C-alpha cells in the first residue's frame, strides 16, 4: 500500500480506513511524531452517519459505513476489538509528551476506558471530562435520558505536556451544544462545536504542535487546529465526511491536499477473467497498470468497493468496472449480501457531461438511509424505502452530476452522492457514443 499522491505534505486530509492510514504514516516516518491525537470515533450508539441533502430531501450515506454501523451495534465485541487496534496504532504515533483525547458515550464508554487503561496504563489516565451537549435529554429510554458525552485524556508517558497556572473543570457546559451551531453548521450529523476543539487544543498542545484527527467527520478539529497554528493530519473512512471537511477548509481559505491509499496489483485477486478486490482500498491506475503489464491482451472485469477517479482517463474496452455494494437484509436480519453493480460511466453528449447509470433506482437505493436500529432488531420499512427512492429519482431528473471542476488536461465531475470521475479534455469519450 502507498499514499496517492506520493509527495507528502502535512495539513492533509486522508480518505480511507484510519488503521491503514496510521500504519502508512508510521512507514513514512511519523511514528512518535504526534503531540496530540483526537479520537471522536463511532460510539456504537446505533446512529447511522449521514448528511442531509436539501435538493434531494434525503440523508445521504456511504453504504458500507451504514452496514458497519449496523453490524457493530449488534456485536459489541467486534466493535471493541476493531477499536483496540486503532488505539494501539495511535499510541505508536504519539511522542513521549503526547496525549490521546478519546471522546465517547455511555453505551461503550466504560468498556473503552478499560481498554485504554490496558494500552496506556492506568497511571497515565489524566482525567475525564463531561461535555454537556444539550440542555435537556436528546435521547430517552423510559425515564433515563442522555445529554452528555465523555472525554478521556491519556498520556503516552510521565513526560506529557504539563501546562502551569491553569486547571479546567471536569464538566464543560460553557462551550456549545449540538443544535446550536449557527453559521458553523454543515448539516453533518454529530458535528462538534468549534469551541470544544479550541478547549481540547488549549489543554493539550502548544503552537506548531502536530495534531492527528483520524475520525475527522465534518472537519472541526483540523479547521480549528489551522486557526490556532497547529500542524495537523486528519482522516475519515466516510466519503461524505471527507468531502464535507475539504469544502469547509476551502471555504475558510485553507488549501489542503487530499490523499488516498492505493494498492499494487495483486495476482491473488485475479480469478479467471475477474479481478476481485478483498480490501476496501480503492482500485486505482496503480493496480490497472499492473494488470496491463501482466496480461496486456486479456479482457478483465474488475470488482472493487471503490475506484479512484483516474480510472475514467483510461478508455479501453477490455476492462469492465463493477462496484461491490451491500444489500441490506430485511427487518430482523443482520446478514449482508454483496452485490455487483456497474460503476456509473461519464459520457459526453451534445448537452454536456452526463452519467450513464445502468439502474438509476438501484443506484439511489444504495445511497440513502435504509432503516432504523433498535435494541433488538434492525427495522426496515420496504414500502416507505421504495417511495423515498422514487421521490429522489423524480428530484434528480437525470441531473446526476453535482459539480464540474476544470483542470489542465481533464475535468473532474462529482455526482450527487459524492463519487468522482475524471474525464480527459480535448478528446471524445468513446464509450459515450
Q: What is the 3-state secondary structure of the chain? A: CEEECCCCCCCEEEECCHHHHHHHHHHHHHCCCEEEEEECCCCCCCCCCCEEECCCCEEECCHHHHHHHHHHHCCHHHHHHHHHHHHHHHHHHEEEEEEEEEEECCCCHHHHHHHHHHHHCHHHEEEEEEEECCCCCCEEECCEEECEEEEEEEECCCCCCCCCCCCCCCEECCCCCCCCCHHHCCCECCCCCHHHHHHHHHHHCCCCCEEEECCCCCCHHHHHHHHCCCEEEEEECCHHHHHHHHHHHHHCCCCCEEEEEECCCCHHHEECCEEECCCCCCECHHHHHHHHHHCCCCCEEEEECCECHHHHHCCCCCEEEEEEEEEECCCCCCCEEEEEEECCEEEEECCEEEEECCCHHHHHHCCECCCEECCCCEECCHHHHHHHHHHHHHHHCCCCEEEEEEECCEEEEEECCCCEEEEECCCCCHHHC
User: Could you give all domains of the chain from N- to C-terminal order, each with its CATH number?
Assistant: 2-261 (3.40.50.150), 263-343 (no CATH)
Which pLDDT tens digits describe the chain residue by residue (433 residues)? 889 888 888 999 999 999 999 999 999 999 999 999 999 989 998 888 888 899 999 999 999 989 989 989 999 999 999 999 999 999 999 999 999 999 999 989 999 999 999 999 999 999 999 999 998 887 777 788 889 999 999 999 999 999 998 899 999 999 988 878 888 888 777 889 999 999 999 999 999 999 999 999 999 999 999 999 999 999 999 888 898 999 999 999 998 999 998 999 999 999 999 999 999 999 999 999 999 999 999 999 999 999 999 999 887 889 999 999 998 665 545 567 899 999 999 988 888 999 999 999 999 999 999 988 888 888 889 999 999 999 999 999 989 999 999 998 899 999 999 999 999 886 554 444 3
Amino acid at each position: 500500500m502507498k499514499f496517492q499522491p506520493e509527495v507528502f505534505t502535512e495539513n492533509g486530509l486522508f480518505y480511507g480506513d484510519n488503521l491503514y492510514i496510521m500504519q502508512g504514516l508510521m512507514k513514512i516516518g511519523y511514528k512518535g511524531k504526534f503531540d496530540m491525537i483526537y479520537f471522536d470515533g463511532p460510539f456504537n450508539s446505533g446512529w447511522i452517519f449521514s448528511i442531509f441533502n436539501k435538493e434531494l430531501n434525503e440523508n445521504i450515506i456511504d453504504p458500507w459505513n451504514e452496514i458497519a454501523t449496523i453490524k457493530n451495534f449488534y456485536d459489541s465485541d467486534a466493535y471493541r476489538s476493531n477499536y483496540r487496534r486503532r488505539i494501539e496504532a495511535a499510541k505508536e504515533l504519539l511522542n513521549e509528551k503526547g496525549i490521546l483525547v478519546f471522546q465517547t458515550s455511555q453505551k461503550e464508554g466504560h468498556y473503552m476506558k478499560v481498554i485504554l487503561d490496558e494500552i496506556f496504563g492506568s497511571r497515565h489516565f489524566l482525567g475525564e471530562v463531561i461535555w454537556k451537549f444539550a440542555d435537556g435529554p436528546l435521547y430517552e429510554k423510559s425515564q433515563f435520558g442522555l445529554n452528555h458525552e465523555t472525554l478521556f485524556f491519556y498520556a503516552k508517558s510521565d513526560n506529557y505536556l504539563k501546562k502551569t497556572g491553569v486547571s479546567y473543570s471536569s464538566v464543560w457546559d460553557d462551550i456549545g451544544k449540538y443544535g446550536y451551531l449557527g453559521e458553523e453548521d454543515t448539516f453533518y450529523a454529530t458535528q462538534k462545536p468549534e469551541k470544544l476543539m479550541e478547549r481540547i487544543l488549549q489543554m493539550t498542545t502548544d503552537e506548531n504542535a502536530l495534531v492527528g484527527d483520524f475520525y475527522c467527520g465534518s472537519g472541526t478539529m483540523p479547521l480549528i487546529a489551522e486557526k490556532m497554528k497547529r500542524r495537523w493530519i486528519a482522516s475519515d473512512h466516510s466519503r461524505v465526511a471527507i468531502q464535507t471537511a475539504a469544502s469547509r477548509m476551502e471555504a475558510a481559505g485553507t488549501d489542503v491536499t487530499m490523499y488516498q491509499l492505493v494498492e499494487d496489483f495483486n495476482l491473488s485477486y485475479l480469478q479467471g477473467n475477474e479481478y476481485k478486490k478483498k480490501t476496501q482500498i480503492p482500485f486505482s491506475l496503480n493496480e490497472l497498470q499492473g494488470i496491463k503489464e501482466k496480461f496486456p491482451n486479456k479482457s478483465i472485469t474488475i470488482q472493487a468497493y471503490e475506484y479512484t477517479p483516474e480510472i475514467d482517463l483510461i478508455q479501453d474496452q477490455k476492462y469492465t468496472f463493477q462496484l461491490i455494494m451491500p444489500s441490506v437484509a430485511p427487518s430482523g436480519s443482520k446478514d449482508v449480501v454483496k452485490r455487483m453493480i456497474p460503476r456509473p460511466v461519464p459520457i459526453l453528449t451534445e448537452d454536456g457531461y452526463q452519467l450513464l447509470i445502468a439502474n438509476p433506482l438501484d443506484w439511489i437505493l444504495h445511497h440513502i438511509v435504509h432503516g432504523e436500529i433498535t435494541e433488538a432488531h434492525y427495522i426496515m420499512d420496504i414500502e416507505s424505502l421504495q417511495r423515498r427512492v422514487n421521490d429522489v429519482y423524480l428530484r434528480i431528473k437525470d441531473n446526476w452530476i453535482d459539480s464540474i471542476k476544470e483542470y489542465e488536461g481533464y475535468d473532474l465531475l462529482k455526482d450527487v452522492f459524492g463519487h468522482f470521475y475524471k474525464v480527459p479534455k480535448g478528446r471524445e469519450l468513446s464509450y459515450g457514443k
